[in-house]
A and B are shown apart, each in its own frame.
Chain A
Amino acid sequence: MQEKLFEKISVIFSYNAEKNTAIPYKIRWRLCDYFIKKLAYHHKVREGRELLHIFHVSDGNLDFRIRFNTEDLNWILEEVSDGSSY
């Protein structure tokens, strides 16, 4: 299953200065909480002058592609998938 979305979500983000890691800790989507266990990939992209941070994360069951817009400080869920072919 792979679903492309464009929905605002709530995110708790954690930054650890000692380990120099920055990773979403928890996301709330459609009133459900998902605790992030794995940051699979992070990259930045520019849309015009806007800088977006894209995080590919997993809670152990689902993979999420979420983006943080540094211009308006919004979090958007762009994709949810579970690694199955349907």
Chain B
Amino acid sequence: MDLPINTAIPTVMHIDLNSCFATVEQQAHHHMRGKPVIVAAYKTDRGCILSPSIEAKKLGIKTGMRVYEAKQICPNVIIRDTDPILVRDVHSKFMKIFDDYSPYVIPKSIDEAVIDFSPVFSKTTDLIVIGKEIKDRMKKEIGEWIFCNIGIATNRFLAKLASSLHKPDGLDLINYKNLRQIYSSIKLTDLYGINTRFEFRLNASGINSPLDFFQAKENFLKKNVFKSITGYYWYLRLRGWEIDDYRSERKSFGQEYSLKEKTADLEKLKKIIMKLCEKMGRRLRQSNQFASGIHLGIMYQDYSFWHKGKKLHRSISSTKDLFEEVMILFFLQLKTNVVSKISVSCFSLNQNNNQQLALIDLGGEKINKISGALDKINDRFGEFTITPATMIDMKDVVIDRIAFGK
């Protein structure tokens, strides 16, 4: 039997800041407002564009382009690098606003959040009115240049779709009455989670539009298109049933760095790895956890990739221990090549309550105490006040960044 469309009153609100990094720069810098601005990872020609402003987007500048491409489109484009402190401040301010409306506010990324109104929903709640109020409060309490898109629906997938319908300052509601009409007005790639390759896969099964996708039978999606339970999940999602409300817990800490100057020099690479381990270690120790697994990934100049991970017989948290374990992996590489990207991560997180005593004490406890003392100095006087000697001259390398995605 076919599952009907979810006819419940929409209680999920998705809020998305427009061109977040660039808009925040325009908010803070009065003279950039109304002008094409791009925020790039590096301001050099090969730098990757992280966020074009709405004005830049109108000219055809897109996220992921290189800076030189943006300059070709608009020679007067203003190029800025990221200001993570500023963006995080805007994020915390809008999260504070959302917290006034529901206890269930889920940040999806630095510029997106979902508010689940179902626990506080009553007959008098009008989410359209609340949406307008949120927009007003964001302008008053954060800044007059801050626009956001708001989507309201019965599940997160449709709420996100609703938020993308009328950029840059939209407020849309999707319910069982307008669902078909909205599916017939968009493309498959407008659906969150469908990229061009996914679209090709759907096309191969005779699904050429969101409406075809919506009208496809559950068994067809499960057995013919996706050949897995994923087909059933899509079947539910497209009908407005919630299946994306899981909460994930942290299982690892990691840092990644794309080298500004690609190199095979061991001393330079050691410095970078040390800084990555220090940043990773700080976050690990701040969470009061230890790791008993370590991983290193390296991308070379020729785009080949090598990685190695291993489980450890002990739980570690100090930068020194993390660095030593990563370097053991580093020397397992079969070839030495010019490196373009390095990532380190630690996993198998634990509270280290039942640490087995080592037969030969290598001073692990002492190292952890020293590490704690160094952290206290950095907490008191600022990040990287005291660092391992290997990190000398690394102030402007592996700088603070905001991660993409969820």
A contacts, CB < 8 Å to B: 2, 38, 40-41, 43-45, 47-50, 54, 56, 58, 62-63, 65, 81-85
Top 4 A-B residue pairs of the complex, sorted by shortest distance between their CB atoms? A83-B31, A48-B382, A56-B28, A43-B89
Do A58 and B31 have beta carbons less than 8 Å apart?
Answer: yes
B378-402: contact bitstring with A at CB < 8 Å (1 yes, 0 no)? 1111110100000000000000000
Binding site for A on B (CB under 8 A): 27-32, 35, 75-80, 85-86, 89, 143, 378-383, 385
Cβ contacts A to B, 26 pairs, < 8 Å: A40-B28, A41-B86, A43-B85, A44-B89, A45-B85, A47-B381, A47-B382, A47-B383, A48-B378, A48-B382, A49-B381, A54-B85, A56-B30, A58-B29, A58-B31, A62-B31, A63-B28, A63-B29, A63-B30, A81-B31, A81-B32, A82-B31, A84-B76, A85-B75, A85-B77, A85-B79
Contact A63 B31 (CB under 8 A): yes
Bound Cα distance A62, B32 (Å): 11
- Whether the Cβ atoms of A85 and B380 lie closer than 8 Å is no
Q: Identify B379's interface contact among A43, A49, A58, A65, CB under 8 A.
A: A49
Asked if A58 and B85 sit within 8 Å, CB to CB, the answer is no
Task: Using A40-B28, A41-B28, A41-B143 as known contacts, say yes or no to A83 and B78 having CB atoms under 8 A apart.
Answer: yes
Would you call A43 and B86 a contact (CB within 8 A)?
Answer: yes
Q: Compute the total of residue contacts between A and B using a CB distance below 8 Å.
A: 64
Contacts of A56 in B (CB 8 A): 28-30
B336 to chain A, nearest CB (A): 37
**Interface pair B32/A83, CB less than 8 Å apart:** yes
Q: Within the assembled complex, what's the spacing in Å between the Cα atoms of A35 and B383?
A: 34
Are B30 and A58 touching (Cβ within 8 A)? yes
Neighbouring A residues of B77 by C-beta, 8 Å: 85
| Candidates A40, A47, A48, A83; contact of B27 at CB < 8 Å | A40
Interface SS majority for chain A = strand
What's the least CB distance linking A22 to chain B, in Å? Answer: 15
User: Do the beta carbons of A83 and B380 come within 8 Å of each other?
Assistant: no
Contact between chains at B29 and A83 (CB < 8 Å) = yes
A48 to B89, CA, bound (A): 17
The chain A residue with its CB closest to the CB of B85 is A45
B107 to chain A, nearest CB (A): 18
Known: A40-B29, A47-B382, A49-B380. A85 touches B78 (CB 8 A): yes
New contact pairs (7) apart from A58-B29, A85-B78, CB-CB < 8 Å: A44-B89, A48-B385, A63-B30, A83-B35, A84-B31, A84-B78, A85-B75
CA distance A2 to B379 in the complex (A): 31
Chain A, residue nearest B30 (CB): A58
**Distance in Å from the Cβ of B243 to the closest Cβ of chain A?**
37
Q: Within 8 Å CB of B76, what residues of A?
A: 84-85
Instruction: Enumerate chain A residues within 8 angstroms of B85, measured Cβ to Cβ.
Output: 43, 45, 54
